[in-house]
C-alpha cells in the first residue's frame, strides 16, 4: 500500500475520490437527505383532526368570505394589496378571539432536517384560513424551535420570536434566554429567523440591517402584533421586474405606520408565501423560477 | 534516510510545475466564486470570496519559498509523502471554504464543515513537520 501511494498521482487520485465523496455527502446531508427527528403529536391525531374539521365547518358556514376578507365569530382577516417602494406587498390584518386560532404546522407533521412541503400544501392539510411560511428551521442546525407548546430545538445564538399563551409577541436573545425558561413561562410558539423589526413600538433595524449575507431588497414575510390578539402580516413580492422587494427598514416602517408594537422578520426570498382561503396571494419566486418553494413550516390562522 | 536521484533540472521543473498548477487553481477558485455569484442574487460569502487564498498562499507562494530557500528537500524520499499530505491539506481547506460559502449563501449550515478545517489543518501541520525534518536533515548533511 505504501509503495502504491508513493507513486506519482496515485495518492492524488485516491484522495480526490475521498474528498469528492465527502463533499457530495456534505451537500446531500445539507440540502437533500431527509432526517426525521420527532413527530408533531399535537396536531396529527385523528381525534384532534376530526374535532378541528367539525369546528371549522360550523364556523365557515357562518363566515362572510370575499376574495380578500374572511370573518366569522372567532377570526377576522382583511388583506390589502399595497404598491410602494416599487414593490407589491400584501398586508393582512388579522384579529382572533383566542390564541388557539394562531397555530404553526410542520411539513409532514414531522420535525427534522430537509422535511419540506409547500406552504399551500401544509395550509390545505391543516384547513388553514390564512397561512404564511415560517422560519424554515430545517435548513439550519441552530435556532430555537417550539411549536404549539412542544419544544424541538434548544440551541441558538440569534433573536427568536416568542408567541406566548396569551397570544402576545416578544423577542428574546437565544444567547441570554434558555429554551427551558421559555417553556416554563408558557411559550406557545417560538420561531427563529429574524431580525426583530419593531420592539415596544420602535424600529430596531436600520438601512444596513440584513439577513446574513443577503442583499438589501428581497421578497419578505413578517408578522407583527398591534394589540391583544390583533396581528398584521406582511408578505412582499421581490426579485422581479414588477417588484424590487423590500429592505428590512422599509418593512419595519410599514409595521410602525400601522401601529405595531412588535414585529419580526421570518424567512423570505423564495420562501415568502401568503395563502388565503385556498389561494396563494403573492407571487412566490426565488428570482430564477416562479412558484412556491418547499419549506419546513408554516404559521397559520384557522381551527 | 535515502536520497532520490533527482537532478537540478528536474527539481526546477517540479517546482515550476507545482507553482503553475497552484496559480491555475487559484484563478479557478476566483472564477468559481464569480460564476456562483451570478446565481446568488447578489449574496456573497467571505468564505467563498477568499477561498482562492488557500491555493495562492498555501500553495503557489509556499512552494515558491521552498523553491527559493529549501529546494534540496526534494531529494529525500520523505518529500513525496510531504508533497501528498500538504497538497491534500490545501485541497481539503479549499473545498471546506467552498462548502461554507455555498451554505452561507443559501443561509444554511452543516455540522460536518468543521471536519474539513480540522482534517485540512492536521494535514498541513503533518506536512510542515515532515518538511522541517527534511530541512534539518539537509542542514546536517550540508554541515
Q: Are residues A16 and A132 in the same domain?
A: no
* Chain B residues inside the 8 Å CB shell of A138: none
- Do A26 and A81 lie in one domain? The reply is no
Answer yes or no: do A18 and A76 share one domain: no
pLDDT of residue A230: 98
The answer to whether B111 faces chain A, any CB pair under 8 Å, is yes
> So what's the pLDDT on residue A46?
59
Pair (A85, A65) in one structural domain: yes
Inter-chain residue contact A214 with B44, CB threshold 8 Å: no
**What distance in Å separates the CA atoms of residue A268 and residue A221, rounded to the nearest whole number?**
5
pTM for the whole structure: 0.81
Other Cβ atoms less than 10 A from the Cβ of A25: the count is 13
User: Which pLDDT belongs to residue A213?
Assistant: 46
Q: Is the pLDDT of residue A52 over 80?
A: no
For residues A213 and A128, state if they share a domain.
yes
Residues A147 and A206 in one domain: yes
Does the pLDDT of residue A135 top 70, yes or no?
yes
Residues A19 and A119 in one domain: no
Same domain? For A147 and A97 the reply is yes
On whether the CB atoms of residues A177 and A144 are closer than 8 A, the answer is no
C-alpha cell at B53: 487564498
Decide if pLDDT at A89 tops 80: yes
Determine the structural domain holding residue A27 and report its residue range: 1-33
Rg of chain A taking only CA atoms, in angstroms? 21
Mutate to test the interface with A, among B49, B84, B102 (most CBs of A within 10 A): B84
The pLDDT value given to residue B32: 95
B92, A212: Cβ pair inside 8 Å? no
Query: Rounded to an integer, what distance in angstroms lies between the CA atom of residue A261 and that of residue A276?
Result: 24
Instruction: Work out the average pLDDT over A194-200.
Output: 95
Out of A22, A140, A288, closest to residue B108 by CB: A140
**Beta bridge partners of residue A161, listed in sequence order:** A171, A191
Convert the pLDDT of each residue in B41-87 to its tens digit.
667 889 999 999 999 999 999 999 999 998 889 989 899 999 999 99
- Nearest Cα to B18, choosing from B77, B97, B90, B95? B90
Contact between chains at B99 and A139 (C-beta distance less than 8 A): no
| Number of domains within chain A | 2
Which residues in chain B are contacts of A12 at CB distance < 8 A?
84, 87
User: Which residue does chain A place closest to B101, by CA atoms?
Assistant: A213
pLDDT digits (tens, 9 = 90+) for A245-269: 999 999 999 999 999 999 999 999 9
Q: Which of residues 57-96 of B touch A (CB under 8 A)?
A: 80-81, 84, 87-88, 91-92, 95
Residue pLDDT, tens place only, A5-20: 667 788 999 999 999 9
Name beta bridge partners: A130. A276, A301
- Residues A80 and A17 reside in one and the same domain: no
A186 and A64 housed in the same domain? yes
Q: Which residue of A has its CA nearest to B39?
A: A288
Residues of B in contact with A141 (CB under 8 A): 109-111
Q: What is the pLDDT of residues A140-157, one digit of tens each?
A: 888 999 999 999 999 999
Across the interface, of A16, A29, A218, the residue whose CB is closest to B112 is: A29
CB-based contact (8 Å) between A60 and chain B?
A: no
Residues A54 and A2 in one domain: no
Residues A153 and A21 in one domain: no
pLDDT band at A207 (very low <50, low <70, confident <90, very high): confident
- Is A6–B42 a contact, with Cβ atoms under 8 angstroms apart? no
Amino acid at each position: 500500500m505504501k509503495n502504491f501511494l508513493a507513486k506519482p498521482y496515485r495518492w492524488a487520485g485516491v484522495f480526490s475520490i475521498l474528498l469528492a465523496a465527502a463533499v457530495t455527502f456534505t451537500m446531500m446531508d445539507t440540502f437533500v437527505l431527509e432526517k426525521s427527528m420527532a413527530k408533531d403529536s399535537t396536531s396529527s391525531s385523528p381525534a384532534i383532526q376530526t374535532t378541528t374539521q367539525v369546528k371549522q365547518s360550523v364556523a365557515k358556514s357562518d363566515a362572510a368570505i370575499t376574495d380578500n376578507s374572511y370573518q366569522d365569530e372567532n377570526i377576522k382577516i382583511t388583506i390589502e394589496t399595497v404598491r410602494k417602494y416599487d414593490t407589491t406587498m400584501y398586508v393582512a390584518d388579522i384579529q382572533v378571539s383566542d390564541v388557539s386560532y394562531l397555530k404553526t404546522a410542520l411539513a409532514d407533521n414531522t420535525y427534522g432536517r430537509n422535511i419540506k412541503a409547500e406552504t399551500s400544501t401544509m395550509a390545505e392539510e391543516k384547513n388553514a384560513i390564512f397561512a404564511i411560511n415560517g422560519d424554515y428551521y430545517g435548513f439550519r442546525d441552530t435556532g430555537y424551535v417550539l411549536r404549539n407548546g412542544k419544544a424541538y430545538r434548544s440551541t441558538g445564538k440569534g433573536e427568536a420570536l416568542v408567541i406566548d399563551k396569551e397570544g402576545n409577541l416578544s423577542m428574546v436573545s437565544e444567547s441570554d434566554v434558555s429554551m427551558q425558561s421559555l417553556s416554563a413561562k408558557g411559550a406557545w410558539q417560538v420561531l427563529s429567523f429574524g431580525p426583530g423589526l419593531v420592539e415596544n413600538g420602535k424600529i430596531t433595524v436600520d438601512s444596513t440591517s440584513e439577513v446574513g449575507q443577503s442583499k438589501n431588497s428581497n421578497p419578505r414575510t413578517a408578522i407583527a402584533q398591534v394589540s391583544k390578539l390583533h396581528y398584521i402580516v406582511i408578505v412582499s413580492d421581490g426579485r422581479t421586474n414588477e417588484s424590487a422587494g423590500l429592505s428590512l427598514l422599509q418593512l419595519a416602517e410599514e409595521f410602525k405606520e400601522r401601529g405595531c408594537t412588535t414585529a419580526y422578520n421570518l424567512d423570505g426570498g423564495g420562501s415568502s408565501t401568503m395563502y388565503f382561503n385556498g389561494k396563494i396571494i403573492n407571487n412566490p419566486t426565488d428570482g430564477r423560477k416562479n412558484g412556491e418553494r418547499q419549506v419546513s413550516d408554516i404559521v397559520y390562522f384557522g381551527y | 534516510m535515502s536520497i532520490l536521484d533527482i537532478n537540478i533540472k528536474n527539481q526546477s521543473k517540479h517546482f515550476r510545475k507545482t507553482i503553475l498548477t497552484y496559480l491555475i487553481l487559484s484563478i479557478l477558485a476566483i472564477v468559481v466564486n464569480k460564476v456562483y455569484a451570478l446565481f446568488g442574487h447578489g449574496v456573497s460569502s467571505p468564505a467563498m470570496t477568499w477561498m482562492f487564498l488557500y491555493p495562492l498562499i498555501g500553495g503557489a507562494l509556499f512552494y515558491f519559498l521552498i523553491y527559493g530557500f529549501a529546494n534540496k528537500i526534494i531529494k529525500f524520499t520523505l518529500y513525496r509523502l510531504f508533497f501528498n499530505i500538504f497538497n491534500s491539506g490545501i485541497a481539503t481547506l479549499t473545498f471546506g471554504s467552498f462548502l461554507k460559502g455555498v451554505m452561507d449563501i443559501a443561509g444554511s449550515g452543516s455540522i460536518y464543515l468543521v471536519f474539513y478545517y480540522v482534517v485540512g489543518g492536521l494535514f498541513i501541520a503533518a506536512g510542515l513537520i515532515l518538511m522541517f525534518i527534511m530541512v534539518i536533515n539537509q542542514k546536517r548533511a550540508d554541515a
